[in-house]
């Protein structure tokens, strides 16, 4: 994968990192999004662009790990020496 | 249960017999030794020599007679007074109902290996339908984010693989007070009241479902029992050193543990893991205060287990050692160095018990003896060294020009006869347990499991020769440990190396001080008393070979059945499950776990619904950390600072975007490059499809 700093490449890497499909359909969608944003003034930097990715694409939902059980506070008995 | 409580008279009689045998043997030894000492030596020196000899002779006698007790007990079909004999399993075990926690305290351990073992324990219990009442806790004291993030991710993966029925929890302490005992105390303060029993594991422990079930069953049947300790067998040994230890443990350990259990009965000791604990009395009576003495005797108790057993005994509860319970395993340190490093920690911890022996009242005599035994197991080394030095000094005072060491040869005929007898008795005390163990295996028709009778003989000989070669090395190193401990020179208390593998350079580095000491000692002997040099060489020659020996022992043998033990042929299910656990895919050559967490888009989104963000000074400090990490990379921050970022979702999210905004000059730009290669090598699946485990590796860390 290209690691250049071009917005398209960085955005594609972000999608792959998120586990999102990066097939032709996604690439076309990404390209059109970038074209639309590129026409805006001022144009978005590659970094700013990435912050929009979760809005444009359905990225995988984060899994929530199992929480610890509710705490049942207790104390430890310390013997006298 | 029958005969409840009546084990005490039996224990008294057995201990009295042991004391009688050891005392008689020691007095006889001192009498013989005194015959061989040249009269020309000063009376003060001779008296000191005889005292040191007496202590050491009694020390090896205790080991010998314990093995004899074990041999007799095993030959009569086991101890009728043990808990296992008195509480027989009735057919198929009933489903466990007593709420039980299985806890595994860890600190910078090899994550995949350690948690793979825990997963095997859970799977084994599940397959037996006994996992319902048991919760599992991984209690981490790891401070390096790259380690604890891996622990966290691996626990999450195990949870997913095992399905919704299991209860595996991961807890990491931010403040690591009081080492392992502090970690367990922290667990008990939070969740102890939820459980009736707690099974404590070490990072390399493996307990079969049968073993856990049996421990709970025994606890239920014996309400007076506070702790039941199993005798773990060494397993999964790969290096030559580990296989030597495993063979010794498997071949002779049986006698010692049977003998020890028969002598201690309900006043046994706790070994810190592979044991079950009754939670309520443990919480009520077994808290460990910091020591308030001078030097070494100040600060947290390092070796907590013997003290906890003593406190449990003081509170009126019983502590049982049950060697008859099968399915309890642990691993040996892979190399001699690791074994000696572990000894360094244990030595310091055991010597601390000197203070507790003096200051703690109402401790039972059996537990006092156990503490004393633990102390003497390290003090014996300087005593041996002192004995050798005094022997050489006294020998020089002899009338003949060629000095003869007392106890080995003497100038006159009577002394020579006594010396020969003493040498024979000493050899019997030292090697007798090995002979008894081999005889026991022969009589029980177990030799086939060790590869046949002749192979068992041959392997015993190899192990004995190795033990003889390692004895002087251990003696000198343990002496250094004792000196360092008494001078209160600090040692680390990290997790031990369980992976093996050593280079010759490393061995030379580790043994540098030892080699220097031995060379200086030999030069001094040769300069002052050249006639003693031949006597010193057998002790010092293995020391000079220590680096090469350690290097050779740290490697894997050519065959998997070198020093064969029964487990090589009949693999227990829990070991099989642990061996077949596939590690979480991770390529450490590319992204560290911290870098994965920062770059993970999945986590960045998780953090948006996180906890309350930090405010005020804390928020500003976090901002500075994020800024430094973004501009200088993670190497610019300490483990504590990196952990702070990980613990604050808003800081992590800020760093996430800074890293993704990386310009060509930023260190994160190179990390992005590595990540690009990483995702390139694993083709991502469509989001809507179930993803394969190896593809989850780096994006799933933080979830």
The domain limits of chain A are 7-56
Mean pLDDT, to the nearest integer, of B606-631? Answer: 80
Q: Could you tell me if residue B413 is inside a domain?
A: yes
Neighbours of B206 (CB within 10 A): 28
Mean pLDDT, to the nearest integer, of B228-247? Answer: 95
pLDDT of amino acid B698: 35
pLDDT at B683 over 50: no
Q: Mind telling me how many Å the CA of A1 is from chain B's nearest CA?
A: 6
Strand order in the sheet with B197-200: B168-172, B134-140, B100-106, B197-200, B275-278, B225-230, B318-322
B271 plus B399 within the same structural domain: no
Q: Mind telling me how many Å the CA of A32 is from chain B's nearest CA?
A: 20
> Could you write out the DSSP letters of every residue in B363-395?
--HHHHHHHHHHHHHHHHHHHHHHHHHHHHHHH
pLDDT at B364 over 50: yes
Give percent of chain B with pLDDT exceeding 90.
62
pLDDT at B261 over 50: yes
A6: pLDDT confidence band, cut at 50, 70 and 90? Answer: confident
> Residue B165, Cα to own-chain centre: how many angstroms?
32
pLDDT at A5 over 80: no
CB contact under 8 A, A62 and B602: yes
- Which residues lie across from B228 on neighbouring strands? B276, B320
B404-409: long-range contacts at Cβ-Cβ below 8 A with a sequence spacing of 24 or more? B405/B535, B406/B33, B406/B36, B406/B37, B406/B38, B406/B49, B407/B33, B407/B36, B407/B53, B408/B36, B409/B36
Angle between helices B111-127 and B145-162 (to 10 degrees): 20
Tell me the chain B residues in contact with residue A16 when contact means C-beta distances shorter than 8 Å.
Answer: 679, 684
B674: pLDDT confidence band, cut at 50, 70 and 90? Answer: confident
pLDDT of amino acid B309: 97
Task: Out of B343-352, B492-501, B631-640, pick the least confident.
Answer: B492-501
CB contact under 8 A, A53 and B601: yes
Give the residue with greater pLDDT, B352 vs B506. Answer: B352
Phi–psi pair at B298, nearest 5 degrees? -130, 140
pLDDT of amino acid B413: 63
How many residues in total does chain A contain?
A: 81
Decide: helix, strand or coil at residue B528.
Answer: helix
Q: Mind telling me how many Å the CA of A42 is from chain B's nearest CA?
A: 17
pLDDT at B608 over 80: no
Pairing type for strands B275-278 and B197-200 reads antiparallel
Q: How far apart are CA B557 and CA B246, in angstroms?
A: 14
Between the alpha carbon of residue A19 and those of residues B21, B298, B669, the distances in Å are 72, 53, 20
Of A62, A64, A69, the CB nearest to B191: A69
Last residue in a domain, options B552, B567, B582: B567
Query: b/e per residue, B503-530, with b = 16+ CB within 10 A?
Result: eeebbeebbeebbebbeebbeebeeebe
Q: Which residues are CB-contacts of B92 (< 8 A; sequence separation ≥ 6)?
A: none
The CA dihedral of B139, B142, B147, B148, to the nearest 10 degrees, is: 50
Neighbours of B31 (CB within 10 A): 12
- Which residues lie across from B318 on neighbouring strands? B225
Q: Which tens digit of pLDDT belongs to each residue from B387-446?
A: 998 988 888 776 666 666 766 666 566 667 888 899 999 999 999 999 999 999 999 999
pLDDT at B657 over 80: yes
Tell me the chain B residues in contact with residue A3 when contact means C-beta distances shorter than 8 Å.
Answer: 672-673, 676
Q: How far apart are CA B568 and CA B237, in angstroms?
A: 10
C-alpha closest to that of B584 among B695, B473, B675: B695
Decide: helix, strand or coil at residue B60.
Answer: helix
B87 plus B60 within the same structural domain: no
Tell me the chain B residues in contact with residue A45 when contact means C-beta distances shorter than 8 Å.
Answer: 661
- Which residues lie across from B168 on neighbouring strands? B136
Between the alpha carbon of residue B191 and those of residues A71, B170, B225, B270, B634, the distances in Å are 6, 13, 21, 22, 35
Q: Could you tell me if residue B294 is inside a domain?
A: no
Of B135, B361, B605, the CB nearest to A62: B605
Tell me the chain A residues in contact with residue B703 when contact means C-beta distances shorter than 8 Å.
Answer: 62-65
Give the residue with greater pLDDT, B503 vs B44. Answer: B44
B429 plus B550 within the same structural domain: yes
Among A57-66, B144-153, B248-257, the range of highest mean pLDDT: B248-257
Of B675, B684, B700, the CB nearest to A22: B684
Q: What mean pLDDT value characterizes chain B?
A: 87
**Full 3-state SS string of A17-71:** HCCCCCCHHHHHHHHHHHHHHHCCCCCCCHHHHHHCHHHHCCCCCCCCCCCCCCC
Q: What total of structural domains would you count in chain B?
A: 3
pLDDT at B371 over 50: yes
Token digits for A37? 């944003």
Between the alpha carbon of residue A61 and those of residues A20, A38, A54, B449, B609, the distances in Å are 11, 28, 10, 53, 12
B91 plus B61 within the same structural domain: no
Tell me the chain B residues in contact with residue A17 when contact means C-beta distances shorter than 8 Å.
Answer: 599-601, 675, 679, 698-699
Decide: helix, strand or coil at residue B229.
Answer: strand
Q: Which tens digit of pLDDT belongs to each residue from B451-472?
A: 999 999 999 999 999 999 999 9
Neighbours of B582 (CB within 10 A): 11
Q: Mind telling me how many Å the CA of B120 is from chain A's nearest CA?
A: 20
Decide: helix, strand or coil at residue B687.
Answer: coil
Residue B654 parent element (H or E): helix B649-660
CB contact under 8 A, A14 and B185: no
B400 plus B278 within the same structural domain: no
Q: Which tens digit of pLDDT belongs to each residue from B180-225?
A: 999 999 999 999 999 999 999 999 999 999 999 999 999 999 999 9
Decide: helix, strand or coil at residue B543.
Answer: helix
pLDDT of amino acid A34: 79
DSSP structure class, residue B401: S
Tell me the chain B residues in contact with residue A18 when contact means C-beta distances shorter than 8 Å.
Answer: 601-602, 699
pLDDT of amino acid B701: 33
Cβ atoms of B121 and B206 closer than 8 Å: yes
B577: pLDDT confidence band, cut at 50, 70 and 90? Answer: very high
Q: Which residues are CB-contacts of B12 (< 8 A; sequence separation ≥ 6)?
A: none
CB contact under 8 A, A68 and B169: yes
Q: Which domain holds residue B335?
A: 83-289+302-340
Cβ atoms of B477 and B334 closer than 8 Å: no
B328: Cα within 13 Å, side-chain hemisphere: 27
pLDDT of amino acid B614: 78
pLDDT at B686 over 50: no
Mean pLDDT, to the nearest integer, of B591-600? Answer: 86
pLDDT of amino acid B103: 98
State which residue of chain A sits closest to B698, comparing Cα positions. Answer: A17
Phi–psi pair at B279, nearest 5 degrees? -65, -45
Q: How far apart are CA B515 and CA B534, in angstroms?
A: 18
Cβ atoms of B666 and B558 closer than 8 Å: no
pLDDT of amino acid B596: 85
User: Counting beta carbons within 10 angstroms of the beta carbon of residue B683, is it exposed (0 to 12), middle (13 to 18) or buried (19 or more)?
Assistant: exposed
CB contact under 8 A, B605 and A58: no
pLDDT at B494 over 60: no
Of B189, B602, B673, the CB nearest to A74: B189
Q: Mind telling me how many Å the CA of B590 is from chain A's nearest CA?
A: 14
Give percent of chain B with pLDDT exceeding 70.
87
Q: Which residues are CB-contacts of B372 (< 8 A; sequence separation ≥ 6)?
A: B357
Count each helix (H run) and each strand (E run) in chain B, helices first. Answer: 28, 12
pLDDT of amino acid B315: 95
Give the residue with greater pLDDT, B669 vs B192. Answer: B192
Q: Which tens digit of pLDDT belongs to each residue from B264-296?
A: 999 999 999 999 999 999 999 999 989 999 999
Tell me the chain B residues in contact with residue A1 when contact means C-beta distances shorter than 8 Å.
Answer: 676-677, 679-680
pLDDT at A31 over 90: no
For CA atoms B305, B309, B312, B317, give the dihedral sign.
Answer: positive
Q: Mind telling me how many Å the CA of A12 is from chain B's nearest CA?
A: 10
Last residue in a domain, options B524, B551, B567: B567
B391 plus B447 within the same structural domain: yes
- Which residues lie across from B229 on neighbouring strands? B275, B321
Neighbours of B106 (CB within 10 A): 25
CB contact under 8 A, A73 and B702: no
Q: Mind telling me how many Å the CA of A33 is from chain B's nearest CA?
A: 19
C-alpha closest to that of B233 among B256, B215, B262: B256
Of A23, A54, A76, the CB nearest to B605: A54
Q: Could you tell me if residue B327 is inside a domain?
A: yes
Q: Could you tell me if residue B244 is inside a domain?
A: yes
C-alpha closest to that of B283 among B235, B226, B243, B325: B226
B59 plus B88 within the same structural domain: no
Give the residue with greater pLDDT, A11 vs B447. Answer: B447
pLDDT of amino acid B700: 36
B614: Cα within 13 Å, side-chain hemisphere: 18
Q: Could you tell me if residue B543 is inside a domain?
A: yes
B562 plus B478 within the same structural domain: yes
Give the residue with greater pLDDT, B617 vs B383. Answer: B383
Q: Which residues are CB-contacts of A42 (< 8 A; sequence separation ≥ 6)?
A: none
CB contact under 8 A, A62 and B685: no
Q: Could you tell me if residue B404 is inside a domain?
A: yes
State which residue of chain A sits closest to B687, comparing Cα positions. Answer: A20
> Could you write out the DSSP letters of every residue in B251-320?
HTHHHHHHHHHHHHTTB----SSSEEEEHHHHHHH---PPEESSGGGEES-SS-HHHHHHHHHHTT-EEE
A46: pLDDT confidence band, cut at 50, 70 and 90? Answer: low
Angle between helices B7-36 and B253-264 (to 10 degrees): 120
Token digits for B612? 């309350």
B604 plus B514 within the same structural domain: no
B63 plus B88 within the same structural domain: no
Q: How far apart are CA B325 and CA B304, in angstroms?
A: 24
Q: Could you tell me if residue B674 is inside a domain?
A: yes
B499: pLDDT confidence band, cut at 50, 70 and 90? Answer: low
**Full 3-state SS string of B138-197:** EEECCCCHHHHHHHHHHHHHHHHHHCCCCCEEEEECCCCCCHHHHHHHHHHHHHHHHCCE
Cβ atoms of B437 and B70 closer than 8 Å: no
Tell me the chain B residues in contact with residue A47 when contact means C-beta distances shorter than 8 Å.
Answer: 657, 660-661
DSSP structure class, residue B698: T
pLDDT of amino acid B697: 32
């Amino acid at each position: 994968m290209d690691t250049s700093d071009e917005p398209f490449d960085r955005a594609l890497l972000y999608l792959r990192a998120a586990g999102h499909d990066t097939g032709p359909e996604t690439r076309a969608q990404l390209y059109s999004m970038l074209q639309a944003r590129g026409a805006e003034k001022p144009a978005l930097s590659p970094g700013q662009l990435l912050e929009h990715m979760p809005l444009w694409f359905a990225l995988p939902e984060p899994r929530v790990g199992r929480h610890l059980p509710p705490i049942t506070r207790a104390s430890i008995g310390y013997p006298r020496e | 249960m029958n005969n409840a409580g009546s084990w005490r008279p039996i224990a008294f009689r057995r201990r009295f017999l042991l004391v009688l045998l050891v005392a008689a043997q020691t007095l006889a030894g001192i009498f013989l030794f005194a015959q061989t000492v040249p009269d020309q030596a000063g009376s003060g020196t001779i008296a000191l020599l005889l005292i040191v000899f007496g202590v050491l002779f009694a020390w090896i006698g205790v080991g010998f007679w314990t093995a004899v007790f074990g041999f007799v007990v095993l030959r009569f079909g086991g101890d009728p007074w043990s808990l296992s004999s008195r509480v027989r399993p009735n057919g198929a075990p009933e489903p466990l109902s007593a709420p039980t926690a299985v806890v595994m305290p860890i600190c910078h351990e090899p994550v995949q290996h350690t948690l793979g073992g825990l997963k095997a324990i859970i799977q084994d219990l599940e397959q037996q339908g006994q996992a319902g009442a048991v919760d599992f806790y991984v209690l981490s004291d790891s401070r390096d984010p790259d380690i604890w993030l891996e622990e966290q991710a691996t626990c999450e993966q195990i949870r997913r693989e095992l399905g919704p029925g299991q209860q595996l929890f991961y807890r990491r302490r931010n403040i690591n007070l009081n080492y392992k005992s502090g970690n367990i105390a922290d667990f008990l303060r939070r969740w102890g009241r939820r459980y009736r029993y707690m099974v404590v594991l070490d990072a390399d422990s493996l307990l079969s479902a049968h073993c856990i079930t049996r421990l709970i069953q025994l606890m239920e049947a014996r309400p007076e029992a506070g702790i039941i300790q199993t005798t773990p067998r060494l397993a999964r040994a790969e290096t030559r050193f580990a296989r030597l230890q495993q063979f010794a443990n498997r071949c002779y350990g049986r006698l010692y543990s049977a003998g020890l259990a028969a002598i201690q009965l309900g006043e046994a000791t706790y070994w810190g893991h592979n044991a079950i604990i009754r939670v309520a009395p443990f919480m009520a009576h077994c808290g460990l205060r910091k020591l308030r003495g001078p030097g070494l005797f100040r600060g947290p108790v390092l070796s907590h287990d013997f003290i906890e057993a003593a406190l449990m005994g003081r509170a009126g509860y019983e502590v049982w050692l049950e060697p008859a319970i099968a399915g309890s395993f642990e691993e040996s340190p892979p190399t001699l160095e690791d074994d000696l490093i572990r000894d360094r920690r244990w030595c310091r911890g055991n010597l601390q018990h000197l203070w507790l022996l003096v200051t703690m009242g109402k401790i039972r005599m059996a537990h006092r003896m156990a503490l004393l035994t633990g102390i003497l197991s390290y003090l014996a080394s300087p005593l041996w060294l002192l004995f050798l030095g005094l022997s050489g000094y006294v020998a020089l005072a002899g009338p003949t020009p060629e000095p003869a060491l007392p106890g080995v040869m003497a100038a006159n005929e009577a002394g020579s006869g006594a010396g020969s007898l003493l040498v024979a008795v000493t050899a019997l005390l030292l090697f007798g347990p090995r002979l008894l163990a081999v005889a026991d295996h022969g009589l029980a028709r177990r030799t086939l499991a060790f590869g046949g009778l002749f192979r068992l003989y041959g392997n015993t000989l190899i192990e004995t020769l190795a033990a003889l070669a390692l004895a002087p090395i251990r003696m000198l190193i343990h002496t250094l440990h004792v000196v360092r401990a008494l001078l209160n020179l600090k040692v680390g208390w990290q997790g031990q190396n369980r992976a093996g593998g050593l280079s010759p350079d490393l061995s030379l580095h580790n043994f540098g001080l030892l080699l220097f000491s031995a060379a200086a000692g030999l030069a001094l002997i040769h300069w002052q008393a050249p006639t003693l040099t031949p006597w010193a060489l057998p002790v010092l020659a293995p020391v000079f070979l220590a680096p090469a020996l350690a290097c050779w022992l740290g490697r894997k043998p050519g065959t998997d059945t070198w020093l064969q033990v029964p487990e090589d042929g009949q693999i227990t299910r829990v070991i099989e499950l642990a061996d077949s656990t596939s590690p979480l895919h991770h390529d450490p050559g590319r992204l560290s776990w911290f870098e994965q967490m920062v770059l993970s888009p999945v986590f960045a989104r998780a953090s948006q619904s996180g906890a309350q963000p930090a405010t005020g000074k804390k928020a500003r400090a976090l901002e500075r950390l994020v800024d430094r990490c973004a501009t200088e990379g993670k190497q610019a921050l300490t483990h504590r600072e990196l952990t702070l970022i990980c613990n604050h979702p808003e800081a992590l999210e800020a760093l996430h975007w800074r890293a993704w905004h990386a310009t060509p000059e930023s260190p994160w730009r190179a990390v992005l490059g590595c990540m690009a290669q990483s995702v390139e090598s694993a083709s991502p699946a469509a989001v809507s499809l179930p993803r394969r485990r190896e593809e989850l590796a780096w994006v799933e860390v933080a979830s």
